[in-house]
Amino acid sequence: MSAQKGKDLLLKLDDGSGTFLTVAGLRTRRLSLASDSVDVTDAESAGRWRELLEGAGVKRASLAGTGIFKDATSDALIRQLFFDGVLRAWQIIIPSFGSISGLFQIISLDYRGEHASEITFDIALESAGALTFAAI
């Protein structure tokens, strides 16, 4: 398998009608999947080694992206979602792997601009329910 282009990892959000818009201007994107462990070690644990309860931890996903502010349709929608604090369906397309979809909430939205440069933004999201995976 050959290397994949980073620009092909897409972050999309539901525009409210079931249509997914690609978030405009993103230069970098990151998806992090995590699961907490549940420690059930006690005085009778073999050799005093830690024991974990299988399948009991809380699962979560975090999304982050950085890009150029383009004042596109997706920028206006993201801004409104942040101010409203609502959950929305998002989709992450990972080339040659699959897509991960589910509800997320925007937890951070930063804008910055250098005097002699473009306006950029950072966005961070946290999952808010079960996610689905579909292989490509």
Please state the rounded mean pLDDT for residues 77-102.
Answer: 93
Asked if residue 29 belongs to a domain, the reply is yes
Say if 1 falls within a structural domain. no
pLDDT at residue 54 is higher than 90:
yes
Domain count, the chain: 1
Q: Is the pLDDT assigned to residue 1 strictly greater than 70?
A: no
Q: C-alpha distances in angstroms, 29 versus 2, 26, 33, 96, 123?
A: 20, 7, 14, 16, 9
CATH label of the domain that carries residue 102:
4.10.410
Asked if the structure places residue 49 within a domain, the reply is yes
Domain housing 15:
6-135
- What is the per-residue pLDDT across 91-124, written as a single tens digit (0 to 9) for each? 999 888 899 999 999 999 999 988 888 889 999 9
Please say if the pLDDT value at position 24 is more than 90.
Answer: no
- pTM for the predicted model, two decimal places: 0.85
32 pLDDT band (50/70/90 cuts)? very high
